[in-house]
Amino acid sequence: MRNTKYFIIVLIAVFAIACNQDSKINPPYTVVFYNVENLFDTINNPNKFDEEFTPDSHREWNTERYFKKLDDLSKVIYSIDSINLPVLVGVSEVENDIVLNDLVSQELLRKANYQIVWEEGDDFRGIDCALLFNPAVFTLNFYKYIPVLCPVEPEFVTRDILYVEGNMHNELFHIFVMHWPSRRGGADVSEPKRVLAASVLRRKIDEVFNEFENPNIIIMGDMNDEPSNMSLSDVLMALPNTMTPENDDLVNLMYADYKKGKGTYNFRGEWDMIDNIIVSGYLINKTEGLKSTLNNAYVFHQPFMEYVNDRGEMSPNRTYGRTYFGGISDHFPVYMILE
């Protein structure tokens, strides 16, 4: 009997060690941003303008289509890093925590045990930004949503900027996830709204630089502007990744690909790099710990995410246009590697 008890204790100990080893994830770590294009549930919320994403609407958004989209999105996220899965996934255009929990519950994503950072925002369409994180790697300290307010236009409403502080690999990281105002009405007409959003973000970035010496900062989102536009280059002051930064600079890791004509969103046959990843110069210059390089951010797409028209032109295979297309998203995700 005593030998049997001893064997059971040893077996439990071996199992615990094995589980601990399985849960340990070593660098490199993948960080992703993805505009998932109108991830709504099928239930009409009377406090939101979500009527078009219901079974009785002209879009006929039903359970089958909803779960197909979830499965497709999980396949994209899984494919970016199929070995460990991305450690951080910033997302935009999500309706609520229901859709986020349904997403992270998909079979391909379960092993990451993603935790969710999300709060209901004031966007008139009812879509928000959120962050998914693997708690085995990233420890959440706190988060807050930073409103983008216009003093001369009190009725102006847009998505809040999500700010998350947490530890990864025994280092403090400052993560920002955002979705700036759209180009509806024309890029020039709507530009002041994105300049406003950039100025709000810049003030918070300055606070971080003033409070922390050599902070690790990652900014990701759908800015609806390209790296050379005023909001990013002049207001946020994000340098091209063709320059060597100082520690207190910001660097847009998507700039070089943007100059090569690559993009994340295709508008009337033209590629726009409106989804960006921006980091602090220290994250590039540091000599130890988790770090980036100037050229380790990428646009991700695979054939199953693409639509090719009869002229041979490729673009993201979106879920909806005027009718149901059955695609995944009208954006390609962007991602970076932390070594």
Tens digit of pLDDT for each residue in 170-186?
A: 999 999 999 999 998 88
- CB-facing half-sphere around the CA of 189: CA atoms within 13 A: 5
Residue 1 has pLDDT above 50, yes or no: no
What is this structure's pTM? Answer: 0.92
Model pLDDT, residue 10: 41
> 2-338: CATH homologous superfamily?
Endonuclease/exonuclease/phosphatase (3.60.10.10)
Lowest-confidence pick of 145-154, 193-202, 220-229, 279-288: 145-154
Q: How far is CA 327 from the centre of its chain?
A: 19
Q: Which two tokens stand for residue 2?
A: 């005593």
Rounded Cα–Cα distance for residues 84 and 92 (Å): 22
Q: Which two tokens stand for residue 52?
A: 């078009």
Cis peptide before 181 (omega within 30 of 0): no
Question: Which pLDDT band holds residue 23 (cuts at 50, 70, 90)?
Answer: low
Is-contact 38 320, C-beta < 8 A?
Answer: yes
- Among 65, 321, 54, 129, CA closest to 330: 321
Model pLDDT, residue 237: 98
Residue 17 has pLDDT above 90, yes or no: no
Residue 14 has pLDDT above 80, yes or no: no
Look over the chain and give the mean of its residue pLDDT values, rounded to a whole number: 92
Tens digit of pLDDT for each residue in 136-151?
A: 999 999 999 999 998 8
Average pLDDT over residues 288-313: 97
- Among 245, 224, 229, CA closest to 292: 245
Tens digit of pLDDT for each residue in 217-229?
A: 999 999 999 999 9
Model pLDDT, residue 20: 41
Residue boundaries of the structural domains of the chain? 2-338
Is-contact 66 42, C-beta < 8 A?
Answer: yes
